[in-house]
Chains A and B, each alone.
Chain A
Amino acid sequence: MIDFSRVQKELQDCEKDKDASGIRVSPKSDNLTRLTGTIPGPIGTPYEGGTFQIDITIPEGYPFEPPKMQFSTKVWHPNISSQSGAICLDVLKDQWSPALTLKTALVSIQALLSTPEPKDPQDAVVAEQYIKNYQVFVSTARYWTETFAKNSSLEEKVKRLVEMGFGDAQVRSAIESSGGDENLALEKLCSG
């Protein structure tokens, strides 16, 4: 059985210093077995400015088994599959310890973004590019960040505008009529 009281406590701890760490964890379902982690791309890397979402599944044996994590935001990195988002990281595998937490795992993933290890690749194509043509790697990674990690989903746009005080249905139709452009939708909502 999953130790939900511990997962609950971890969520509270993350919530407390989310502004300092930039790391968030929020439940996807009521029973806390599926969560979404969010990490900011580290400064000084091709991931800077991006916001990366990570799908988290809490296994039955948690915390004696590691949480399952994979990127849902597409990312170009030697240790992350550009196709599936699968992450090659020891603390999510044999170096897991029950004293580690969802947050420490996400911090490790953030550190992995800063320090790729192309010799132990998850994505062979990316790793080869990293080793053979670093400049091309950097611009590809940056392009992917721009394209995939800065675009917010419809639901995120809806959430932000609803938080500003507009009605849900009103927001959705404004976003739709402005072709998904959040700022345009906001202008429409404000003007009338």
Chain B
Amino acid sequence: MTSRKNTHWCNTCRRGIRLQGEGMRGRGERGACIHCGDTFLERLYENVELSPFDFFGLAIEEARNRRGNNRRSILENQLSFQELFNRLSAQDRRGPQPASPTAINSMQKIKISKKHLSLDPYCPVCQDRFETGSVARKMPCKHIYHSECIVPWLVQRNSCPVCRKELPQDRNIGRKNPFLYLWPFRSSASASNHNVSAFH
């Protein structure tokens, strides 16, 4: 599934999307979701260190890059964060629990070897064959997925698609708002810097 993968995650629709012309990865350009038109997207990285900020990737990157010289864009993002937040809390009350960002982030990264291919040649989500030498994610139950195939599911529901085992829950996080501690916009700059550095 090299050419047809979802390139971004739309936080508004909460689903993976593929932006055309993703080959040109200009920093400043940002795409809009083909479904809702929202620009609150994050890039789904492959073979790249996945930090919890990848869930909020573009927004945070922009916030970091443009700090100070483009307050408005940050403010817009902030609104979207608020929306995402309300949505997550609302879901939390009724629906299934998402995996904690820390748990997702610390999920093992493995390089696909011939041995893996002989055991699990296909990603259970996209059903494509893994490529030797590419990086994949291994859950504690040993099931292997492409990053962009497992992350969008785990942010929705903490359950291995194959065996339904969960990722360990982070005890420090309140159950109501699992993303609360990721809130990047603190009133004090030091708090926000501290938060950012904690994940890198």
Contacts and interface: CB of A to CB of B under 8 A. Distances in A.
A99 interface: yes
A64 B162 CA distance: 13
A98 B16 CA distance: 13
Interface centre among A3, A9, A63, A94 (most CB of B within 10 A): A3
Task: Place the interface of chain B in its size category.
Answer: 20 to 34
A64 B127 contact: no
A5 B15 contact: no
Contacts, number: 51
Given A61-B15, A63-B125, 8 more contacts: A1-B34, A6-B126, A61-B13, A64-B15, A64-B152, A97-B159, A98-B153, A99-B124
A168 interface: no
A64 B156 contact: yes
* Chain A facing B: main interface SS: loop
Interface in B153-168: 153, 156, 159, 161-162, 164
A1 B161 contact: no
Interface of B: 1, 4, 6, 13-18, 34-35, 96, 124-128, 149, 152-153, 156, 159, 161-162, 164
A5 B14 contact: no
A9 B128 CA distance: 9
Q: How large is the interface on A (under 10, 10 to 19, 20 to 34, 35 or more residues)?
A: 10 to 19
- Counting from the closest, the 10 A-B pairs by CB-CB distance are A99-B161, A99-B124, A61-B15, A97-B161, A5-B4, A98-B125, A1-B17, A98-B161, A99-B162, A9-B127
Contacts of A3: 4, 6, 16, 126
